[in-house]
Structure 1
Amino acid sequence: MNILYIDANIYLGFYNSNRPEYKKLLGSVIELADKIFFTQQLAFEIDRNKLNIFRLSIDNYIKQVSLTATILPEHLDEDGSPKFTDWNKARKELEKQISDSNKELSPILNDVLNDIAISQDKVSKELSAIYATAQSPSGKDLENARLRKEIGNPPGKRADPLGDQLSWEQLLTIVPDISQLWIVSTDRDYFTEHKKTLYLNPVLYQDLVRQNPRIIIKTFNILSEALRDFNNEVKIASIPSKEELDLISETEAQDLTGLTGSTASFMYSGSFAPSKPNICPKCAMANSFLEGAYLRSQYGGLTLQYICKNCGFHADTGDSFD
């Protein structure tokens, strides 16, 4: 059988308000519910993080559209030419319009946040078809997952709660029956990337072929590309057109490199993150940095970076995504 294994960070992308094109893939995911291996642990991870993902993406959006109060020195206007005065007046009107618009948005967002909190939003309702297939772990799965975590084998990080390890151990129990497996994740525990090609972590590869030497494994960090490839084997009636897939794929790829600012998939929520700078070294604005995100780095791989909302400067902490 052909199986898709989609990591929690991919599902959480549907709660990122900055990725409207991405949501066109939701119908295809729901259509493939019986071809997706989904666990109780994945459901827990999505539910734990979906509210915060939406809130962070909305906060970033509001910060991006908000205007800093600006007044030009009207006393420098030339005699009879109120250019600065007129500009200040127009600017104040624009600032007020945006401020009023954001105020009108606030109760709408509160309603959406409440819906997400009780899983009554559109995405959560549609994902209920996937949740209905969630597999519960056995005692043996838990034991193996704890051992995997203790010895430091992927997936999952030793400092994090037991999570990815458990879903992976559950997946291994059905691998003997899988002919082709598509793994979709943005988590670097699963793969190494070189020149846009993803190579599955050797430990994970050995896990799979030990259970099924004939299994065909395909690894993706872009959902649209995974679905495009899966569609070559199993036709997906609701898959977007080639043109739409190309656009969505481009957006997803930009998200991974941090070019679009839609970095909710990499938002860092840990308590040990290097602190953001107080003052931007490029534009000298205080308290101008957005929440940290793991982006492509000058040091190689992904590192935690803070982006100045005023000038776009990236403060690279060098803290790697591992």
Structure 2
Amino acid sequence: MNLFIDTNVFLSFYHLSNDDLEEIHKLAVLLGKGDIKLWLPNQVKDEFQRNRENKIADALKKLKEQQKKPQFPQICKDYPEYEEIREHQKQYEKKLSSLIKKVTDDIAERSLKADEKISELFEKASLINPDAELILKAKLRMEVGNPPGKDGSLGDAINWESLLLHIPMGEDLHLVADDKDYYSVLDENALKDFLIDEWTSNNKSDVRFYRRLSQFFKEHYPDIKLAAELEKELAINELVNSSNFASTHSAIAKLQKYAEFNKSQSNELAQVGLSNSQINWIFCDDDVFSFYKSLLNNHGHDIEDELVEKLQAEIIQCETNGED
């Protein structure tokens, strides 16, 4: 699945946004899995770096504005609620000052969570470096007035031309942008007709438009609520499909950090531990044995009786062999 995210969407994670960083985390997991290919024109990286500080400065300004003290008329001061409010206000001011300091320190060290998550995405993305010919196409696009793009600005035109050139013919594009240069004046949740027609004509495929990353996830991955759950499912799938001892140990290492599995997951793990020879043959290895013993102790009540009996037999056999 081909995905493009416009610069303004990345920058929104530093500011007031309806999406939170969990969306970025989920995307990073899916990129690692290979389900999604994120196309990243170098123009987007440059725009992001140019505008990051301004977005952060504006967000920090709005945060500091929360320090303004409310004014109370004199007639309020004889009521007990006034003293309670003042006490809560002092606690609020103390916590807010602490928050501002921590945020300011992280900004200086470039260690904001948004920095970490977006850097991870950029590292996993497929970078597009525009050449002179592509830039000429973008300039022509701007000069004749074709979208996307603002007067005198090449950025959006370069990004669009990059996508037209590099995304394979016949493959759909999923485009996330909260920018009037992309969306229709008739329907702000739809792409401009000109861009739809151009994409369909040139790439013989569809282009789907979203204003927010959460809209993309809602449509295509509605069951994914948290990235951690997705990572757990991927680790289970890795164990299920293990084709050698090394991949078994790798999957077990990932699964050992999870304390909770639902009923379906517990039964799947139990079944594969018995049926996959690349797991069962090394069942008595310390890590595999420890994982399945813990699974049985903590989730045995969710596992089918027949599987429980077989797992218990495997565990007893390992313990017996260890005593010999």
Normalised by the length of structure 2, the TM-score is 0.59
What corresponds to 1:100 in structure 2? Answer: 94
Q: Is the 8 A contact 1:144 1:169 kept in 2?
A: yes
Alpha-carbon displacement from aligned partner over 1:174-217 (angstroms, at most 9, x marks no partner)? 2443421111111121122657x73321221232123223x022
What corresponds to 1:83 in structure 2? Answer: 78
Counterparts of 2:226 and 2:215 in 1: how far apart (Å)?
Answer: 15
Amino acid at match of 1:45: E
Q: Is the 8 A contact 2:10 2:48 kept in 1?
A: yes
Q: Is the 8 A contact 1:198 1:219 kept in 2?
A: yes
Within-5 A mapping of 1:17-36: 18-19=16-17, 22-33=20-31, 35-36=37-38
Matched, 1:143 2:136: yes
Name the CA shift for 1:126/1:146 in 2 (closer, same or farther; >3 Å).
same
Counterparts of 1:39 and 1:64 in 2: how far apart (Å)?
Answer: 37
Larger Rg: 2
What corresponds to 1:205 in structure 2? Answer: 196
Residue 65 of structure 2 is aligned with which of 63, 66, 69? 63
What corresponds to 1:311 in structure 2? Answer: none
Q: Is the 8 A contact 1:40 1:135 kept in 2?
A: yes
Amino acid at match of 2:137: N
Name the CA shift for 1:104/1:239 in 2 (closer, same or farther; >3 Å).
closer
Matched, 1:220 2:210: yes
What corresponds to 2:56 in structure 1? Answer: 54
Q: Is the 8 A contact 1:13 1:22 kept in 2?
A: no
Amino acid at match of 2:28: I
Aligned length: 224
Counterparts of 2:84 and 2:190 in 1: how far apart (Å)?
Answer: 54
Amino acid at match of 2:218: R
Shift of the alpha carbon at 1:143?
A: 0.8
Q: Is the 8 A contact 2:19 2:212 kept in 1?
A: no
Name the CA shift for 1:103/1:229 in 2 (closer, same or farther; >3 Å).
closer
SS at match of 1:5: strand
Which structure 1 residue ranges, 4+ long, deviate > 4 Å from structure 2? 18-21, 86-92, 235-241
Matched, 1:167 2:159: yes
Name the CA shift for 1:20/1:58 in 2 (closer, same or farther; >3 Å).
farther
Counterparts of 2:17 and 2:83 in 1: how far apart (Å)?
Answer: 35
Q: Is the 8 A contact 2:190 2:210 kept in 1?
A: no
Name the CA shift for 1:24/1:206 in 2 (closer, same or farther; >3 Å).
same
What corresponds to 1:134 in structure 2? Answer: 127
Shift of the alpha carbon at 1:239?
A: 5.3
Counterparts of 1:56 and 1:223 in 2: how far apart (Å)?
Answer: 22
Residue 44 of structure 2 is aligned with which of 42, 45, 60? 42
Within-5 A mapping of 1:1-16: 2-16=1-15
Give RMSD over aligned pairs.
3.2
Amino acid at match of 1:104: S
Q: Is the 8 A contact 1:72 1:88 kept in 2?
A: no
Normalised by the length of structure 1, the TM-score is 0.59
Shift of the alpha carbon at 1:68?
A: 2.2
Counterparts of 1:125 and 1:140 in 2: how far apart (Å)?
Answer: 34
Name the CA shift for 1:158/1:35 in 2 (closer, same or farther; >3 Å).
same
Matched, 1:185 2:184: no
Alpha-carbon displacement from aligned partner over 1:53-98 (angstroms, at most 9, x marks no partner)? 2332343344346432324247xxxxxxx725x5554454444333
Q: Gapped runs of 5+ residues in structure 1?
A: 75-81, 242-322
Name the CA shift for 1:19/1:41 in 2 (closer, same or farther; >3 Å).
same
Q: Is the 8 A contact 2:9 2:177 kept in 1?
A: yes
Q: Is the 8 A contact 1:155 1:189 kept in 2?
A: yes
Counterparts of 1:188 and 1:32 in 2: how far apart (Å)?
Answer: 28
The structure where helix makes up a greater share of residues is 2
Counterparts of 1:53 and 1:109 in 2: how far apart (Å)?
Answer: 14
Q: Is the 8 A contact 1:51 1:113 kept in 2?
A: no
What corresponds to 1:306 in structure 2? Answer: none
SS at match of 1:134: strand
* Identity over aligned pairs, percent: 23
Shift of the alpha carbon at 1:150?
A: 2.2
Q: Gapped runs of 5+ residues in structure 2?
A: 230-324
Q: Is the 8 A contact 1:112 1:121 kept in 2?
A: yes
